[in-house]
Structure 1
Amino acid sequence: MAETAQQRIRAVAGQLTRAERQLADAILENYPMSGLGSITRLGEKAGVSSPTVARMVQKLGFSGFAEFQAALRDELEAQISNPIAKHESWSQAAPQGHILNRFTDAVIANIRHTLANADPAEFDAVIALLSDTRRRVFIAGGRITHALAEYMHLHLQVIRPDVRLVRTTANAWPHDLLDLEDGDLVVLYDVRRYENTTLKLAEIAAARGAKCVLFTDQWQSPISRYAEVSFNCRIEAPSAWDSMTAMLLLSETLIAAVQEMEWERTRERMKSLEEMFDATRIFRKFV
């Protein structure tokens, strides 16, 4: 899949002039809607000339402003498409191979694309944040991604103390943020069609001075403006639903890394947990 316009802007950020950086900031502020007006309007919003806008989009690899806007419209359509629309779009050109092979090929491509765009230094920085027990960790997801949030929470609370799962319902999660303080860490999962309640949660966390780590899709949730680190995971698949496999891979890798970083502490917590399991006879024993 071709890079999004947003990804292209970030890739050339170090090569931009001062005026072009102003323009890039204006585009990213309300992306992709910010780029769908006229070239004159975009230039005025950024405080640059129309020729600067034209040169910028060519620097991004587009033949002109019209092609740039067409790419933005395609991204917007992809972001807001519902499961029925996604299935119909896929089924019109469905290949003849078995679904096992087609789906697996798509997931492998998603993983490769996601890892190619992951910054190892940022990944290591998140490992350090998650390992720092001076910070409490709050984890939240949306209607679909709450399953990933619960998975991350289940493992991290075994590895370290002070890990909390933020409930997904809007009338409940404000209670979960009552104890959120400056320096705490909030881990959020948000994919297309980006949920307003999760965005509001991120806004509140940022206002309280918490650091945010975001797991999102290739188009990037608006939560990214509040995030210290955003992991952009490719999620497309031959299905009415998106694939969370690449996002799960990054989550599981973080869990493994944090576990290894503090293994002595983790081992003691695991021993205590196993003793409770034995006392409550949750798991069947064969000896």
Structure 2
Amino acid sequence: MASNNISDRLTLHFDSLTRAERQLANVVMENYPVSGLGSITELAEKADVSTPSVARLVQKLGFKGFPEFQAQLRKELAAKISGPIEKHDRWAENAPDTHILNRFTDAVMTNIRKSYHQIDTQVFDRTCELLADQNRSVYVVGGRITHALADYFFLHMQVIRPDVTHIQSISNAWPHYLLDVKQGDVIVVFDVRRYENSTLKLIEMAAAKGAEVVLITDQWISPISKFTNLVFAARISVPSAWDSSIVNMLILETIIARVQEIIWPDTRERMEQLESMFDETKFFRKFT
């Protein structure tokens, strides 16, 4: 099996599952990985399937039985909620005797391959269409760490099109931004493990107002996913106490490139105006 991650296995096998097994798979993914940690009977009842259906799905995923399936879920849950110190200790304990440059690069390349393999092109295209629609306002929000990604994305989108706002989710002022959110507006949110309650509440309230939510998250998938089908799940694990933002950065830069391409005539005009202002204010040094 290429991946031990149960969500990856479900995605890989989903098309070959029976109706009952798909029903069960959807229940497992609703609050993953916690949703599968009850008894086999409880899981079957929640999915409205038989206990043998649970056993068959578990075997199709490559596990000998339900206890082994749950052991993997508990392992993934521990990884999902672990902080920097625990992550460092886990990597250090299993670190191979190769240079960190090679180990880190190999981990990043694996993350890119696996993440991009799972991106739904229809989700990508729909996301870019929404962001290119200048009749919709765009809001961008990040968290304690991911605010850097949000700021980068906001800076580029602000040049590409008008009416883009960066919501500071860690500020007590974020409810003020919701006053202007209208039905059909787009909110791009970055949320990775150790998911933040304030960001979740912000998106819950925005979705209630009819906003379209685009979620850029990790392989364990933020609970914000229940408010949208536009989800980009990037792999973030590397040999470090910190998670990697490289795949998330790659996703958002690809989105930036596509949105710019869709509305290039308007974007070009905005860029020309911006460059004219830079020249007038001597913002950048000129080499002549």
Q: What TM-score results when the alignment is normalised by the length of structure 2?
A: 0.94
Question: Match for 1:168: what amino acid?
Answer: S
Q: Secondary structure at the match of 1:69?
A: helix
Query: How many residues are paired up?
Result: 287
* Partner of residue 207, structure 1: 208
Kept in 2: contact 1:170–1:197 (CA 8 A): no
CA deviations on 1:228-252 (whole Å, 9 max, x unpaired) are 3111111111110011101101111
Q: Secondary structure at the match of 2:243?
A: coil
Kept in 2: contact 1:184–1:211 (CA 8 A): yes
**Following superposition of structure 1 onto structure 2, how do residues 1-287 of structure 1 map, counting pairs within 5 Å?**
2=3, 4-287=5-288
CA deviations on 1:244-280 (whole Å, 9 max, x unpaired) are 1011011111111111221111111011111222232
Kept in 2: contact 1:138–1:186 (CA 8 A): yes
Q: Secondary structure at the match of 2:107?
A: helix
Structure 2 residues without counterparts, runs of 5 or longer: none
RMSD: 1.7
Shift of 1:3: 5.1
Instruction: Pick closer, same or farther for the CA change 1:256–1:143 going to 2, 3 Å.
Output: same
Kept in 1: contact 2:28–2:36 (CA 8 A): yes
Shift of 1:170: 4.5
Identity of aligned residues (%): 59
Q: Secondary structure at the match of 1:242?
A: coil
Kept in 2: contact 1:4–1:219 (CA 8 A): no
Question: Match for 1:269: what amino acid?
Answer: R
Kept in 1: contact 2:189–2:213 (CA 8 A): yes
Structure 1 residues without counterparts, runs of 5 or longer: none
Question: Match for 2:39: what amino acid?
Answer: S
Q: 1:15, 1:95 → 2: CA distance?
A: 37
Shift of 1:16: 3.8
Q: 1:228, 1:185 → 2: CA distance?
A: 13
Q: 1:121, 1:19 → 2: CA distance?
A: 26
Kept in 2: contact 1:5–1:71 (CA 8 A): yes
Q: What TM-score results when the alignment is normalised by the length of structure 1?
A: 0.94
Shift of 1:93: 2.3
Moved over 4 A (4+): none
Q: 1:203, 1:215 → 2: CA distance?
A: 16
Q: 1:105, 1:16 → 2: CA distance?
A: 33
